[in-house]
Structure 1
Amino acid sequence: MSSATQFPARMSVADFLDWCPEDGQVWQLVDGEPVAMAPASTTHARIQAEIARLIGNHLLERGSACDVLMAPGVTPHLERAHNVRVPDIGVSCSPGGDDGSLLTAPVLLIEILSPSNHRETWANVWAYASISSVREILVVSSVSVGAEVLRRRPDGSWPEQAEVVSSGELHLESIDYVTPLMAFYRTTRLNTPR
């Protein structure tokens, strides 16, 4: 085992941030254990880039203080000392921005769902729901046109099931953004007339 892959049995967030190798591999800390993330498919990467571009343009046009970031590290509230999860996209509206290693107050977190990471993605989604600043969580399919939105209720609770969007417009209340769902798929093979 190389020194880059040796780590304590249960890492803290601080240990993880000190250890995390800069070898191009993306790592998460899940309950104290570093977990390497598989490289994204081309379709996944295209969807991720398009969503980040569209949301970034929306925030810029509105003069918003919010920032969109690709693959930011976030710490869920539960087991905070031993977890760093990495959503595909995060939006934060923190005054002065987040300049540290972790996004401290995300309002919107987005995951691109692939068949190979279904279980891990949804485990992350429910971990994100424990972050008090998060207002919405969007999960976008990479194998068909579709998305699921979880939106925090005014009383702070979350619905038991996500709102399914399979066509038409997608509304993200946390950043006051409305777009045709198909816009996310513009650069993929899924962008075909029906």
Structure 2
Amino acid sequence: MPTTSHRDARLTYEDFLRFPDDGMRHELIDGVHYVTPCPVLRHQQLLGRLHLAIGTFLEGHPEIGQAFLSPLDTVFSPWDVVEPDLMFVAADQLDILTEPNIQGAPALVVEILSPSTRKRDLGIKRELFDRGGVREYWVVDPKARNLTVYRRMPDGSFPNVAQLDADGDVPLTSPVLPGFALSIAKLFA
């Protein structure tokens, strides 16, 4: 894992804007530059199904907020700029939307694991989303065929509150998307 020896050596969003447009996903976490290759087919299938389900739900409930797909910079701080696979910005926080990016924590962030991102998505990105104030974080694991939910609790903690399996019958629901329900079996079909 890349590290920096001095906080002064950290890269910033200004540095980030100078990265090449090379088809790779560039992110900064605590000023450290991470590069991820473009996603594989299964990743995109799962992302497409999730976005379609949330988008269809929001068509009937536009007052709840807006959903976005990567690539879209999400700026948590000058040293923390990520491109989650899917983001949902709730109606009470639409002021974080700017033309070039999202300036702050979306209500919901979704990441679909891949071999090259698994450790980062479950480690430093989950920590970033916790300290950044994300209300809910969904982690989709194509290999294990499950979806893990981390949720902001009233005491401010951000625990894993559910792991939903493709062979289970418990639908995915969320207080961030009131009324939304998704069959995990259908997601992984």
TM-score, normalising length: structure 2: 0.81
Q: Which residue of 2 aligns with 1:57?
A: 56
- Which of the numbers 178, 182, 190 marks the counterpart of 2:181? 178
Distance 1:12 1:24 in 2: 20
More strand by share: 2
> CA offsets per residue over residues 54-94 of structure 1, 9 Å max, x none?
10111111123511111232234xxx321212211100123
1:75, 1:131 within 8 Å by CA — same for their partners in 2?
no
Residue 162 of structure 1 and its aligned partner are, at CA, apart by 4.3
Look up the equivalent residue of 2:108 and give its one-letter code: L
142-151 or 113-122, which deviates more? 113-122
Q: Which residue of 1 aligns with 2:3?
A: none
> 5+ residue gaps in structure 2?
1-8
Look up the equivalent residue of 1:175 and give its one-letter code: L
Question: How many percent identity over aligned positions?
Answer: 24
Q: Does 1:149 align with 2:149?
A: yes
1:34-183 matched pairs, under 5 angstroms: 34-71=33-70, 72-76=72-76, 80-93=77-90, 94-95=93-94, 98-104=97-103, 105-122=105-122, 123-132=124-133, 134-159=134-159, 161-166=160-165, 167-168=168-169, 169-176=171-178, 177-183=180-186
> 5+ residue gaps in structure 1?
1-8, 186-190
Segments ≥4 residues shifted beyond 6 Å? none
Q: Which residue of 2 aligns with 1:16?
A: 16
1:152, 1:158 within 8 Å by CA — same for their partners in 2?
yes
SS at match of 2:74: coil
Residue 14 of structure 1 and its aligned partner are, at CA, apart by 2.3
Residue 180 of structure 1 and its aligned partner are, at CA, apart by 0.8
Distance 2:130 2:59 in 1: 26
Residue 111 of structure 1 and its aligned partner are, at CA, apart by 0.6
Q: Which residue of 2 aligns with 1:32?
A: 31
Residue 96 of structure 1 and its aligned partner are, at CA, apart by 5.9
> CA offsets per residue over residues 27-72 of structure 1, 9 Å max, x none?
1013223221122110011101111111011111112351111123
Distance 2:29 2:120 in 1: 10
1:75, 1:85 within 8 Å by CA — same for their partners in 2?
yes
Residue 114 of structure 1 and its aligned partner are, at CA, apart by 2.1
Distance 1:30 1:63 in 2: 32
